[in-house]
Structures are given as structure tokens and as C-alpha cells.
């Protein structure tokens, strides 16, 4: 008994000592994404190091690599990561289920919209601080719409009519992602606006009539008026085409607005490019409005105090205001209420955000652990729908079959019906 | 008259063949000198004012110099280790006709890399060796070692046995013979093996894609990632492609004779 | 001296030993490990330790339509690519097998695709194939033909990928066959020519049969490499659109490194491994027969 006590004491002392030794070096490892806000942080880190005396080892990774790297390091228990950027809707369920996030009980979440916090809350505690939000919008060519005598479409009927009228040989009337899994997020608004959903209380429901109507409509629109080869296009392919003046209207995430108007890449002037809310559907008018990026602490971190200091700084209001100037749409509510800040942000972004903040749907994909596989499965239906302009008789059957498969995935991870 | 006609037809065929082979390289080079606006123009522009801004972007703004260095480090060490392990093995295989042994090593050349990659990935992550040069070099050696063994064992077979026998009569050890007599005679074979293994390590994508991350990222991965870093910057990607292909192409032009003999000897591909 | 004699008499295993150990460690061990994983239900992301489930992964994966389609596609890709390469490669070799101005330049050109980085080749062809801005459709349309969707449509994607493989690897067959032709003696052909045979008869009845062993070797080597094709497919389509260009290699990669379903991925890897192993055994058999 005595020896055990002694041993325990000795261990406590050594551990305390090694803890002290670690604290002396004051070093943390941070993984960032190749994302504009990641760049903002990277640029400001030297300043943080000076103020705090904490040395920050930063790595920037492309988003899918970031997920892969974190997953492997955490799953094999070999991680030395302290703080990392994360995608709440892509990584969230999986990471939280495996308890890879450190719960952020002490953090002040009062400056964040309630729906952005609720989606990162697990077991009653938020796990991620939301950083960047994005929502779906309609980009359009003002000059072309005007020349055709068209108003900006406000519902799906007007959208179809406008796309049809604008669509000519060298110009695609309407574009949106067609590349299977990548298209799932952009399809979401269409599914919502037809009254459907991907999941409902942990059960796949994208085989409902409403959802299938949305998938068919998306396929009809993109298949009939989209650029050739659209089923292999994600935003990175569509953006240059829009910049080249080959596309009249495009629905995608708000973040691309800044790049669209970049004069180095586009022969169009910023004055020709408009931004508007996604048109309303027959049942709803609820575009996705999601937290695309957040930042979190690793539960495996051995330097949680230092990590917390970094996290507080990285999510500070000052940095958020600075990022807003670069048209990065931050999650904090206060920066959108600050006139001095919003004056520097594009008015189109301010207006569309005001709409989605009220009416948006906080998810743009099936929110589950095996989200990658689920997106691949739904992606198949999207491609079939686009290839047949929404006409294929198989779509209903495919949707049923893929819903069964997604339910299997949900059961595998114990999320079914939750 | 008919002969002349045939001759013209023949040269037309040869020129057509050369054009087909060259076209992708030419188009890559041309596009790398275009601005994004010129690249997405329709119909494609054949006359435009060339710019070096894509190269500036690749080497100035992106970290391609570092990836270049990473690729070089990995390839050089992989080739070095392969020569160290492969030369003695190849010699033994050639001298003692160890065909089974040769087959075991060559299996590494024939097997799909992905079937080893998953276990490596697990083991290297457990050992904390992900994103380390050690893991990358080890994986690349599995590609380059069979190339060295294959080429060198065939080469050693062409060196006349009499040379060794007379040295042995003079009391030289096998080891001495290998180091001082055989290796100095094997220059051309070693050049062939080195060039080809370097190129195949340089071009490897799959192993580096899985085992390297930010720190040890090699060029092929950097080029691929460049695609999804932002909207497709075709000009930049093409400039990066030129940069990655250039060393292999230049090496091939310099050592053309050796590369041909190495490739046709048993047709080596990673 | 005694030590030397020990090395001398044992050199046949001392010299190859390090290489063999290396291969055992990096190749044989992983294959055994994969075999073990294929019998477990391990998913890297589940957070639970793998448990032994016997052959049930095999039952599940081998019956999965997505897997079966990938298997079939792998064969379609491999055989169609290599068939085209063999025909074109041999034809080009016969064409170039004579003395002409610029022969060395053409031979150098033929080498270039072989050493070009496959990923970059894939990306260049992506720009080529782009249906809206690519050169391929421009050429088709200037010839008055309709443009194609190339890699963007399930019906044309595999064919488009085969074309890339053909561009890159036909020269290999050409070079091997050229080397084979160079080693042939001219006598039989000369004799036939004196007997009044025309060029076509000589090629068909004399030259081709003589280089046939070389052609067969080249084709088998290509078959194995084509089976393993990963880089260009991954870079160009990632297996898409949908799953339309997913081969065993691609699906194995996705199951391992995107879905982290290690147990099921291991099954796919085992199948791929066994197919290539069977081909390799076939090669050695054939090699022996040719030697005789």
C-alpha cells in the first residue's frame, strides 16, 4: 500500500516536472486549411507569438487532406496536434463520436447565431468555434439579363424561363455543380425548396416525393442549360467558365463572389456580375446557410492551456473584422452589426446574408459520420438526373436504393434514428 | 516515280507520328505561357502574347521550389539505397543464376503498389513516420530496387567470367573482385539503372500521395493539389506540369541511349 | 584472409541478403498484414479495435455491384488499351525499322511519353478534353464532326482514358519491337525477296513470326502495367463521373483512404494482388517457353 502510494507520488512528481518542462518550451502545433481565413491566421501568427510567447508550428493542408491527416493521427493515437481547423458538417459527427474534439465549456458563444452553435454541440457542450459561414446564392450576368429583358428570377419557374432564354450556342443559360458528390451541397437548397430533406432524425429521406422532385428539377435545369460536361464539374471548373463569360447564371456558395470579380482572371467587369438569393421553390425558400469552417482543440492535446490561448486569439472579434474586409463571411454576429465593418463588405453579400440568417437551413449535406460515402451515393442519382434532364424513370428507384444504403451506413455507426 | 511517291507517303506517316507524340507536350508548353483569359477563350487561341506570369506564380507564390527539393531528396536517397542493396544482389543473381531470388525482387516491380500501401500507412502512422523522408524513401526504394536489380543483373551477365577467374587465380577475394573489377566495368549499366530509377521515383504519385503531407510533399502531389487549391488555374497548372516533366525529359535526352536500353531490356515501369 | 574465404564461400546469400530482407519487410509483411486485416471488421474511424469476422468481408465485397463493375471495368480498360497499343506499336515499329533521315530524332521523341510524369500527363489531357475550352472538341468541330463529352460522361470516359494510356505507352511496344527487329538477321527476308515475295508477304510471313516472342513479352508487360493504372485515372476523373471510371485500383484507394474501411479495402487489395500474381506467374511460364 505504502509502495503504491510512493510510486504514485513519484509518478505525479515526474509528470508534473515533465509538464513544467513542456510549458517552458511553450510550443503548440496547429493545422490550418488552405482557406482564405487560414491565410489570415497564418499572416497574423507572428504577432500572436510575440504577444503570448507561445511558438506556433503551423501546417496548411488542402481540405480533404486535412480531414485525412487528422483522422489518421487521432485514430492511431499518434497525434501531436493541439488546435485545428475543421469542417463542422463534414468532420463534426465523426470526430465528436470518437471524442477527438475537446469540449469547449468555458468559451463564450454569445456572439454566434444559435443555429451555428447548436450544430456543433454534442452532449450538451459546443465542440467547435464557428469561423466562417457560407450560404447559397445566385450569381448572374447583369448585362445579359438586361439585354434579354429579364428580371432576376425569384422563383423556380422564372429561373427555368430565364435559363432557357439565355441559353445559346456558346453560352450556358444556367450552371451548378454536376460532379456527383461535390454537387450534393448545391443540390441541397433545391431539395429544401421542394420541401424535401436528405436526412430526418437520423433516417435517410431523400427518396421522398419532395426530395426526388428537387433532384429531378436540378437535373432538368443543369442538364438542359448547363455547360457541356457538367457532370464532371465542381466549382473550380465552373468559376473559370463564368469568368470567361460562358455562363449566364450560376448557383453556388457565397464565398466565390470575391474571386468572380477578380480582374486578373476575368475579362468581365465587376459591374456586370450580380448576386441574389436563390429563387424560391414551390414549397419553401430556404437556402443552406452553414458554418463551413470552424476551429477546435484536440482532446489528445497535452497543452490545452496554450491551445486555449491560441483558440481565443484565433477566434477574436478583431481578426474576424479584419477577415471581413477580405470578403470572408465570418460567423460572429457582431461583425455583421458593425456598420464600420460592413461598409467594407460587398453589399450583395450583406443583403443575401440578412435573408439566409432568417430563413437559411443550417445543413447542406447529409449530416452524419460517413458523410463522404453518403455523398458518393447521392452523387450517383444527381448524375443520372442531369444526364437525362431529370426525365429518367430510374431516379425514383435509385433514390430508394441509395436511401437504403445510406441507412445502412447510419446503422453501422450507430446514428440511425438519432 | 512510284518509289518517290512511297517515300513521300512514308515521311508523311513519320511526321504524323511525331506530331501525335509531341502535341500534348506542345499544348502544355503553349498553355503555360497563356493568361487564364487566353486559355479559356473559344476557339482556342494559337496566336497570343506570351507571358511568364504562370511560372512566376508557381515558383514565387506557391512553394514549388521546396517541392522540387523534396522530390530531389527522395529520388536521390531512393536511388542511393537501391544501388547499395541492389548492386550486390544483382551480382549474385547474375553469377549464380539465382532466378528464384530474382523473381522475388521483381515481384515488387509487378505488384500493384496500392496493395502494400494500406499496411504501410497504418504502420507508419503508428510509428509517427507519416510525412517523413524515411517513410517516403523506403516506399520509393521498393520501386527503384527492382529496376536496379533487373538492369544490373542482365548487365553483369555480359561481363566475361574470365576476368574474374584470372583475378581469383591471383588470390583476390570475391569482395575485392566485385568492388575493384566488376563495378568499374559497369559504368554504362549503372548509368542506365540510376537514370531510370531516378525518373520512376521522380514520377511516383501514389506512394507520395498517401505518405507525404505538408512537409515532405513531392512535386507530383503539389501539381495535383494545385488543381483544387482554388478555381482551376490552367496556366499555373500547366507551368507546374512543365516544371515537373522538365528534369525527366532532359535526363532522357542526355542519357537517351541508356534509357532506351533500360526500358527495352524488360520494359520497366513503376 | 579466413574471413574473406568465409564471405567468398557464402557470397551467394550474403550479397542478396539485404535486398531480400528489405523486400520481405516492405512487401511480404504488408501482404500478410493485409490478409489478416481482410478477415477483420476494422474501420479506422470507428474508434473500436478490429475483431475477427472470418470471410464475411469477402462475401460482402465480392457481391457488391460497385466492386463487380470495377472488376469488369479493369479488364475492359486493360485489354482494350493493350490491344490498341500492340497493333499501333508493332505497326509503328515496322514503319520505323529502316534507315531514314531523322530516325534518331523520332526515336528520342518516342521516349518522351514514357518518362513523362503520369499525373501531369493526365492533367494536360484534362485540358485537352475539356468539352467547353479543350482542343479535342475544337479539332472535331473544325473537321465538321460533333464534339464529345470525353471524360465528363459515363459512356465516353473509359474510352477517353484508354486513349491517354495508348498515347503514353504505345511507344514502349514500338521501342521493344524495334530492338527485337534490330537483332534479327536479314537473311530470311533477303532470300524471300529474291524468290519474288512482296514487302507485305515478307512482313506477314517472315518478320512478324520471327519477332513474335518479343511482341508477346512486350504485350504481357504492358498488360500488367495497365492493370495497375492509377495515376492518370485518379488525376483525370477520380473514378467519376459517378463510379463510371472506377477500376480496382481506384476503388481500393477509396475504400482505404477515403472511407477508411480497412477490412473491406483489404479484400479489394487481395483480389487485385491475386490477379496480378496470376499474370506474373503466366509471364515466367511464358518466358521459360520462349527461352526454349
Q: B51 lies in a domain? A: no
**Last residue in a domain, options A316, A331, A357:** A357
**CATH code for the domain of B208:** 1.10.3720.10
Decide if C26 and B17 are in contact by the 8 Å CB cutoff.
no
Q: What is the mean pLDDT of residues C270-279?
A: 90
The pLDDT of residue A280 is above 90: yes
Q: B253 lies in a domain? A: yes
**CATH code for the domain of A20:** 3.40.190.10
3-class state of residue B137 by DSSP: helix
Q: What is the mean pLDDT of residues A140-159?
A: 95
Q: Among A59, A170, A239, select the one facing B231 at the smallest CB separation.
A: A239
Category of C144 on φ-ψ map: left (φ > 0), alpha (ψ -120 to 50) or beta: left
Q: Answer whether B184's CB lies under 8 Å from B118's CB.
A: no
Q: Among A78, A240, A241, select the one facing B128 at the smallest CB separation.
A: A78
Q: Answer whether C197's CB lies under 8 Å from C246's CB.
A: no
- Chains touching C by CB (3 or more pairs below 8 Å): A, B
pLDDT of residue B229: 55
Q: How confident is the model at residue A213 (pLDDT cuts 50, 70, 90)?
A: very high
Whether residue A98 is found in the same domain as residue A210: no
Q: Among C12, C172, C276, select the one facing B110 at the smallest CB separation.
A: C276
Decide if B40 and A241 are in contact by the 8 Å CB cutoff.
yes
Residue C115, exposed/middle/buried by CB under 10 A (0-12, 13-18, 19+)?
A: buried
Total structural domains within chain B: 1
Whether residue A178 is found in the same domain as residue A259: yes
Whether residue A106 is found in the same domain as residue A169: no
DSSP letter string over A283-322?
Answer: S----BEEEEEEEEEBTT-S-HHHHHHHHHHHT-HHHHHH
Distance CA B91, CA C15 (A): 8
Q: What is the pLDDT of residues C64-84, one digit of tens each?
A: 999 999 999 999 999 999 999
Whether residue A67 is found in the same domain as residue A164: no
pTM score above 0.90: no
Q: What is the pLDDT of residues C97-116, one digit of tens each?
A: 888 888 889 999 999 999 99
pLDDT of residue C4: 62
pLDDT of residue B19: 94
Which carries the bigger pLDDT value, residue B170 or residue A365?
A: A365
Q: How confident is the model at residue A192 (pLDDT cuts 50, 70, 90)?
A: very high
Q: A345 lies in a domain? A: yes
B-chain residues within 8 Å CB-CB of C228? 112-113
Q: Answer whether A267's CB lies under 8 Å from A244's CB.
A: yes
Decide if C242 and A72 are in contact by the 8 Å CB cutoff.
no
Whether residue A81 is found in the same domain as residue A182: no
Domain of residue B151: give its range.
63-266
Q: B55 lies in a domain? A: no
Q: B54 lies in a domain? A: no
pLDDT of residue B266: 55
The pLDDT of residue A6 is above 80: no
Whether residue A168 is found in the same domain as residue A260: yes
ipTM value of the model?
0.90
Question: 10 Å Cβ neighbour count for B196?
Answer: 29
Distance CA A199, CA A205 (A): 5
Which carries the bigger pLDDT value, residue B47 or residue A7?
A: B47
Total structural domains within chain A: 2
Decide if C152 and A94 are in contact by the 8 Å CB cutoff.
no
Distance CA A56, CA A81 (A): 11
- Chain C residues with CB under 8 Å of a chain A CB are 43-47, 130-133, 147, 149-154, 237, 240-243, 257-260
Q: What is the pLDDT of residues B127-152, one digit of tens each?
A: 888 889 999 999 999 999 999 998 99
Q: A417 lies in a domain? A: no
Compute the CA torsion angle A90, A96, A99, A100 (nearest 10 deg).
30
Q: B239 lies in a domain? A: yes
Q: A401 lies in a domain? A: yes
Q: What is the mean pLDDT of chain A?
A: 89
Q: What is the pLDDT of residues C113-141, one digit of tens each?
A: 999 999 999 999 999 998 888 899 999 99
Domain of residue A60: give its range.
2-127+290-357
Distance CA A330, CA A324 (A): 7
Q: Please name the residue that has the C-alpha cell 486513349.
A: C163
The pLDDT of residue C289 is above 50: yes
B-chain residues within 8 Å CB-CB of C172? 263, 267, 269
CATH number belonging to domain C13-291: 1.10.3720.10
Whether residue A190 is found in the same domain as residue A47: no
Q: Is B100 on the interface with A (CB under 8 A)?
A: no
Q: Which residue of A has its CA nearest to B216?
A: A59
Q: How confident is the model at residue A148 (pLDDT cuts 50, 70, 90)?
A: very high
Least confident piece of the model among A10-14, A327-331, A393-397, B105-109: A10-14
Amino acid at each position: 500500500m505504502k509502495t503504491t502510494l510512493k510510486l504514485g507520488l513519484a509518478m505525479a512528481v515526474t509528470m508534473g516536472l515533465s509538464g513544467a518542462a513542456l510549458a517552458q518550451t511553450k510550443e503548440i502545433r496547429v493545422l490550418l486549411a488552405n482557406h482564405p481565413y487560414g491565410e489570415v491566421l497564418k499572416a497574423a501568427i507572428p504577432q500572436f507569438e510575440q504577444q503570448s510567447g507561445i511558438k506556433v508550428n503551423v501546417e496548411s493542408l488542402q481540405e480533404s487532406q486535412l480531414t485525412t491527416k487528422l483522422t489518421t493521427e487521432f485514430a492511431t493515437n499518434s497525434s501531436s496536434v493541439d488546435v485545428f481547423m475543421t469542417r463542422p458538417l463534414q468532420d463534426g459527427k465523426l470526430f465528436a463520436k470518437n471524442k477527438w474534439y475537446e469540449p469547449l465549456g468555458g468559451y463564450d458563444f454569445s456572439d454566434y447565431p444559435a443555429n451555428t452553435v447548436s450544430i456543433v454541440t454534442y452532449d450538451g457542450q459546443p465542440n467547435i468555434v464557428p469561423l466562417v459561414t457560407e450560404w447559397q446564392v445566385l450569381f448572374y450576368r447583369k448585362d445579359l439579363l438586361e439585354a434579354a429583358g429579364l428580371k432576376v428570377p425569384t422563383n423556380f419557374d422564372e429561373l427555368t424561363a430565364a435559363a432557357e432564354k439565355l441559353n445559346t450556342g456558346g453560352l450556358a443559360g444556367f450552371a451548378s455543380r454536376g460532379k456527383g458528390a461535390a454537387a450534393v451541397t448545391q443540390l441541397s437548397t433545391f431539395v429544401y425548396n421542394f420541401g424535401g430533406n436528405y436526412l430526418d432524425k437520423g433516417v435517410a429521406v431523400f427518396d421522398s416525393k419532395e426530395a426526388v422532385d428537387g433532384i429531378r428539377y436540378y437535373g432538368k435545369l443543369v442538364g438542359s442549360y448547363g455547360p457541356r460536361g457538367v457532370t464532371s464539374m465542381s466549382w473550380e471548373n465552373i468559376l473559370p467558365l463564368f469568368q470567361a463569360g460562358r455562363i449566364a447564371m450560376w448557383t453556388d456558395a457565397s464565398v466565390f463572389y470575391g474571386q468572380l470579380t477578380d480582374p486578373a482572371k476575368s475579362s468581365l467587369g465587376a459591374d456586370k456580375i450580380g448576386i441574389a438569393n436563390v429563387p424560391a421553390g414551390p414549397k419553401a425558400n430556404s437556402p443552406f446557410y452553414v458554418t463551413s469552417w470552424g476551429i477546435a482543440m484536440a482532446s489528445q492535446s497535452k497543452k490545452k492551456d496554450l491551445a486555449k490561448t491560441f483558440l481565443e486569439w484565433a477566434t477574436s472579434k478583431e481578426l474576424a473584422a479584419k477577415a471581413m474586409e477580405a470578403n470572408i463571411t465570418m460567423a460572429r454576429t457582431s461583425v455583421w452589426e458593425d456598420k464600420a465593418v460592413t461598409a467594407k463588405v460587398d453589399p450583395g453579400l450583406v443583403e443575401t446574408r440578412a435573408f439566409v440568417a432568417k430563413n437559411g437551413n443550417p445543413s447542406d449535406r447529409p449530416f452524419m459520420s460517413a458523410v463522404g460515402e453518403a455523398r458518393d451515393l447521392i452523387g450517383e442519382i444527381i448524375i443520372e438526373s442531369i444526364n437525362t434532364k431529370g426525365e429518367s424513370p430510374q431516379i425514383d428507384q435509385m433514390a430508394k436504393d441509395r436511401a437504403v444504403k445510406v441507412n445502412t451506413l447510419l446503422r453501422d455507426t450507430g446514428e440511425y434514428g438519432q | 516515280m512510284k518509289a518517290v511517291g512511297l517515300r513521300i507517303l512514308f515521311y508523311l506517316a513519320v511526321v504524323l507520328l511525331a506530331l501525335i507524340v509531341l502535341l500534348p507536350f506542345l499544348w502544355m508548353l503553349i498553355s503555360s505561357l497563356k493568361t487564364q483569359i487566353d486559355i479559356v477563350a473559344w476557339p482556342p487561341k494559337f496566336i497570343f502574347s506570351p507571358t511568364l506570369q504562370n511560372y512566376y506564380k508557381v515558383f514565387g507564390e506557391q512553394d514549388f521550389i521546396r517541392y522540387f527539393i523534396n522530390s530531389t531528396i527522395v529520388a536521390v536517397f531512393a536511388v542511393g539505397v537501391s544501388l547499395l542493396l541492389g548492386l550486390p544482389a544483382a551480382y549474385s543473381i547474375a553469377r549464380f543464376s539465382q532466378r528464384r531470388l530474382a523473381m522475388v525482387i521483381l515481384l515488387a516491380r509487378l505488384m500493384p503498389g496500392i496493395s502494400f500501401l494500406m499496411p504501410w500507412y497504418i504502420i507508419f502512422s503508428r510509428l509517427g513516420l507519416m510525412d517523413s523522408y524515411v517513410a517516403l524513401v523506403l516506399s520509393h526504394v521498393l520501386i527503384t530496387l527492382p529496376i536496379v536489380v533487373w538492369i544490373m543483373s542482365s548487365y553483369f551477365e555480359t561481363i566475361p567470367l574470365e576476368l574474374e577467374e584470372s583475378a581469383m587465380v591471383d588470390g583476390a577475394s570475391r569482395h575485392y573482385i566485385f568492388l575493384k573489377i566488376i563495378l568499374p566495368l559497369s559504368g554504362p549499366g549503372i548509368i542506365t539503372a540510376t537514370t531510370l530509377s531516378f525518373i520512376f521515383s521522380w514520377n511516383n504519385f501514389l506512394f507520395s500521395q498517401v505518405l507525404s503531407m505538408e512537409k515532405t510533399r513531392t512535386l507530383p502531389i503539389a501539381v495535383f493539389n494545385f488543381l483544387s487549391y482554388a478555381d482551376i488555374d490552367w496556366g499555373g497548372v500547366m507551368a507546374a506540369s512543365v516544371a515537373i516533366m522538365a528534369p525527366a525529359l532532359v535526363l532522357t535526352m542526355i542519357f537517351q541511349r541508356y534509357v532506351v536500353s533500360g526500358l527495352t531490356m524488360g520494359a520497366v515501369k513503376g | 584472409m579466413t574471413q574473406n574465404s568465409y564471405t567468398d564461400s557464402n557470397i551467394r546469400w550474403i550479397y542478396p541478403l539485404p535486398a531480400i530482407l528489405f523486400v520481405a519487410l516492405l512487401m511480404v509483411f504488408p501482404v500478410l498484414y493485409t490478409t489478416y486485416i481482410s478477415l477483420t471488421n476494422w474501420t479506422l474511424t470507428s474508434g473500436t479495435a478490429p475483431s475477427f469476422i472470418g470471410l464475411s468481408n469477402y462475401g460482402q465485397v465480392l457481391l457488391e455491384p460497385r466492386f463487380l463493375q470495377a472488376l469488369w471495368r479493369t479488364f475492359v480498360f486493360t485489354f482494350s488499351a493493350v490491344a490498341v497499343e500492340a497493333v499501333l506499336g508493332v505497326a509503328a515499329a515496322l514503319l520505323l525499322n529502316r534507315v531514314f533521315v531523322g530516325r534518331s530524332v523520332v526515336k528520342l521523341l518516342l521516349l518522351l511519353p514514357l518518362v513523362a510524369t503520369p499525373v501531369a500527363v493526365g492533367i494536360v489531357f484534362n485540358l485537352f478534353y475539356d468539352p467547353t475550352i479543350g482542343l479535342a472538341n475544337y479539332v472535331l468541330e473544325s473537321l465538321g464532326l460533333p464534339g464529345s463529352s470525353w471524360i465528363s460522361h459515363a459512356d465516353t470516359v473509359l474510352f477517353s482514358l484508354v486513349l491517354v494510356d495508348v498515347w503514353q505507352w504505345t511507344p514502349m511496344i514500338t521501342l521493344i519491337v524495334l530492338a527485337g527487329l534490330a537483332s534479327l538477321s536479314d537473311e530470311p527476308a533477303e532470300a524471300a525477296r529474291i524468290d519474288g515475295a512482296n514487302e507485305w508477304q515478307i512482313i506477314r510471313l517472315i518478320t512478324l513470326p520471327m519477332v513474335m516472342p518479343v511482341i508477346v513479352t512486350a504485350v504481357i508487360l504492358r498488360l500488367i502495367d495497365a492493370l495497375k493504372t492509377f495515376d492518370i485515372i485518379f488525376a483525370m476523373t477520380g473514378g467519376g463521373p459517378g463510379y463510371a471510371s472506377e477500376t480496382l485500383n481506384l476503388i481500393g484507394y477509396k475504400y482505404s483512404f477515403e472511407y477508411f474501411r480497412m477490412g473491406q479495402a483489404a479484400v479489394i487489395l487481395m483480389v487485385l494482388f491475386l490477379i496480378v500474381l496470376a499474370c506474373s506467374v503466366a509471364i515466367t511460364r511464358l518466358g521459360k517457353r520462349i527461352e526454349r
